[in-house]
Structure 1
Amino acid sequence: MKKTLIPLLLLLLIGLSASAGCMMADSGYQSAPMVTESVAAYDRNIAEEYQAAYPDQKVIKDAWVRLRSPDAKAASEEITTIAERYNGRIQSLSLTSDGMRDGREQFSATIVLRVPSDSFEAVMQEIESVGILTQREVKSRDVTAEYTDLHAEKRALENQVGRLTEILLKAGTVEEILKVQSAIDSAQLNLDRVTGRLNLLESQIDEATITVSVQEGEPIGIDSGFSVTSVINTGIAAFLFMIGIIIVAVCALLPLVVIGGIAWYIVKRRKE
């Protein structure tokens, strides 16, 4: 009896072991889709999370202003002072000589300044009062969606690098280590790229860009519009206009005078 029970017990143990192995295999195959679905759901939720965290609109503001001023150098210094007063900064400033006019050297200036977006309108008003405004252009670009997507992508890549780093610590062979390290390097490269784009975007959102062009012109007169320089320039222009008319008239009448002189000379010779 005992000899018969021993083989039966062995067969029973083998059967239980096989069943347990099949169940473990099935559970292993089923876990992969579940992990993939959970990661996908997590990535989808990241955008919604940041949309809730950053509900305000993210706008990039750019402006171009053209001014006419009797002194481009002084206007540039005043614009620099305005930017500094609003915690802004001068990104670039160039001063160019435009030659001599009315006995003095003329200059033009181009100033690119970055100012806090909250102070954009106030800075624009003060800059436009520095000289005579001849052109004004303002552009606003809503980048809320791009900002949210970049934050979500950055968060997902950070988590990916973290998970791969944990896997790397558990790698047992050189081949596994190399594969995981390659995946980490690729994810880190994408993370650095996204972080750079996000930093640039945040900088453009936080600080508006204003480009100011200043050209020298006639001195600004009193409120009535009277200007000595304008009067002189108008007089010179009128004088040159009259000289031009006289030259045109002479050129137009000269052939008639020549023909008339020749005809008179011929008639006179015949009478003699």
Structure 2
Amino acid sequence: MSRKRISRAGAALAVAAVLALAGCSADSGARSDSAAAPMAAGAQPARAPGAAPSGAPLPGGAPSALPSADPRAIAYTGRLTLRVAGIESAVQQAETLAAQQSGYVEHEDTGDAGSAQVVLRIPSAAFAKSFDQLAGFGTVLNRTSQADDLTQQVVDVDSRVKSQQASVDRVRQLMQQATSLNDIVTLEGELSTREAALESLQAQQQQLAAQTSLSTITVNLQAAAPVPAAIAPKAPTGRGFWGSVGHALASGWRVLLAVLRALLIVLAAAAPFLVVVAPVLWFVLRRRRAGRAAAMAVAVPVAVQGEPAEQTEQAEQTE
């Protein structure tokens, strides 16, 4: 029993030692790759303007000894705010431009009739040209662009992916060589951990590739307000004598119509009051007339009775 336990312990120690060696080799490989990438990038001399490209033959016929320069990984982003005559036509032009440049429309919002937003994904090589073409679709209100250099991140992630892939391959080789169940279980757990780390690095690699291969341009569109048509002033016309007379007659007629209109408005406004006040006035006037008639009826007999006395007095005065 003691020999079996010793043999199992020795096997476990051997597997652990192999895994440790695999991890150390993976780390050293990652460090060497990441260190070699900047050195290789820094070792490339800058090419002077007008000089022959890297690897191209010189004028004398001898090939150039300079190594070829790797392109830098740059992510471009741009934003435009345009005032356009028609929202729908501008959106269609933006979509057509994206299709011509082998890009696509990532997002489109045309809910409001007076504004719209279009997000385009354009290949980075055609970013500057497409950005200028989009700016020509209308009046530029705002224009911003940004370039992010992701070369170092891309190199670092690529190196880590290679190292992690090599580490996964080593663990798989050890699983093929393992004979003990405990060793296989241990190696499977280690393989799952390293494969998960590899998948995470590969996702970062794909994300960086998407950022550097396709650039983002956001276009905000605003509808231009319609310009009102200018009203041309009427040319002054000369008037003669009869023209002045006709103008005065027309003015007087307009004044008369205005006065009649005002009177009609006043009568229309006073009509409800007249309906109420007229019977009262009629009743008051009728009472006054009746009072006057009664007073006259009383005064007439008195006058008739006093007439002989006056005649006798006049007769006596004459004698």
Question: What TM-score, normalized to structure 2?
Answer: 0.54
* Residue aligned with 2:102, SS: coil
* 151 and 121 in structure 1: CA distance in 2 versus 1, 3 angstrom threshold: same
Task: Return the letter of the residue paired with 1:46.
Answer: D
Task: Map 1:146-225 to 2 at 5 A.
Answer: 146-219=153-226
Give the aligned partner of residue 33 of structure 2.
Answer: 46
Structure 1's unaligned 5+ residue stretches are 1-27, 98-105, 220-226, 233-272
Structure number with bigger Rg? 2
Tell whether the 8 Å contact from 1:50 to 1:151 is kept in structure 2 after alignment.
no
Task: Provide the rounded CA distance (Å) in 2 between the counterparts of 1:39 and 1:198.
Answer: 18
Give the aligned partner of residue 87 of structure 1.
Answer: 102
Shift of 1:39: 4.8
Task: Map 1:219-258 to 2 at 5 A.
Answer: 219=226, 227-228=227-228
* Residue aligned with 2:72, SS: coil
Structure 2's unaligned 5+ residue stretches are 1-13, 42-68, 232-319
Task: Provide the rounded CA distance (Å) in 1 between the counterparts of 2:21 and 2:73.
Answer: 36
Task: Provide the rounded CA distance (Å) in 1 between the counterparts of 2:22 and 2:228.
Answer: 83
Task: Provide the rounded CA distance (Å) in 2 between the counterparts of 1:95 and 1:151.
Answer: 40
* 110 and 36 in structure 1: CA distance in 2 versus 1, 3 angstrom threshold: closer
Tell whether the 8 Å contact from 1:117 to 1:207 is kept in structure 2 after alignment.
yes
Task: Map 1:50-65 to 2 at 5 A.
Answer: 50-51=37-38, 52=40, 55-65=70-80
Tell whether the 8 Å contact from 2:23 to 2:167 is kept in structure 1 after alignment.
no
- Kindly indicate whether structure 1 or structure 2 has the higher relative contact order, using CA contacts under 8 Å at least 6 residues apart: 1
Tell whether the 8 Å contact from 1:65 to 1:137 is kept in structure 2 after alignment.
yes
* Residue aligned with 2:111, SS: strand
* 39 and 72 in structure 1: CA distance in 2 versus 1, 3 angstrom threshold: closer
- Residue by residue, what CA displacement relative to the aligned partner does 1:8-67 show, whole Å, maximum 9, x if unpaired? xxxxxxxxxxxxxxxxxxxx9xx9898876554432222245554883321111111101
Task: Return the letter of the residue paired with 1:90.
Answer: V
Tell whether the 8 Å contact from 2:26 to 2:164 is kept in structure 1 after alignment.
no
Task: Provide the rounded CA distance (Å) in 2 between the counterparts of 1:107 and 1:45.
Answer: 57
Task: Provide the rounded CA distance (Å) in 2 between the counterparts of 1:92 and 1:50.
Answer: 37
Tell whether the 8 Å contact from 1:89 to 1:113 is kept in structure 2 after alignment.
yes
Superposition RMSD on alpha carbons, in Å?
A: 2.5
The answer to whether structure 1 residue 67 and structure 2 residue 74 are counterparts is no
Task: Provide the rounded CA distance (Å) in 1 between the counterparts of 2:203 and 2:111.
Answer: 35
Task: Return the letter of the residue paired with 1:43.
Answer: A
* 71 and 179 in structure 1: CA distance in 2 versus 1, 3 angstrom threshold: same
* 143 and 79 in structure 1: CA distance in 2 versus 1, 3 angstrom threshold: same
Give the aligned partner of residue 21 of structure 1.
Answer: none
Shift of 1:174: 1.4
Question: What TM-score, normalized to structure 1?
Answer: 0.63
Give the aligned partner of residue 144 of structure 1.
Answer: 151
* Residue aligned with 1:55, SS: coil
Task: Provide the rounded CA distance (Å) in 2 between the counterparts of 1:90 and 1:36.
Answer: 44
Task: Provide the rounded CA distance (Å) in 2 between the counterparts of 1:40 and 1:63.
Answer: 39
- Larger proportion of strand: 1
Task: Provide the rounded CA distance (Å) in 2 between the counterparts of 1:195 and 1:38.
Answer: 20
Task: Return the letter of the residue paired with 1:171.
Answer: A
- Residue by residue, what CA displacement relative to the aligned partner does 1:103-159 show, whole Å, maximum 9, x if unpaired? xxx431110000110100110111001111000111111111111110011001100
* Residue aligned with 2:192, SS: helix
* Residue aligned with 2:114, SS: strand
Tell whether the 8 Å contact from 1:62 to 1:139 is kept in structure 2 after alignment.
yes
Task: Return the letter of the residue paired with 1:124.
Answer: F
* 177 and 109 in structure 1: CA distance in 2 versus 1, 3 angstrom threshold: same
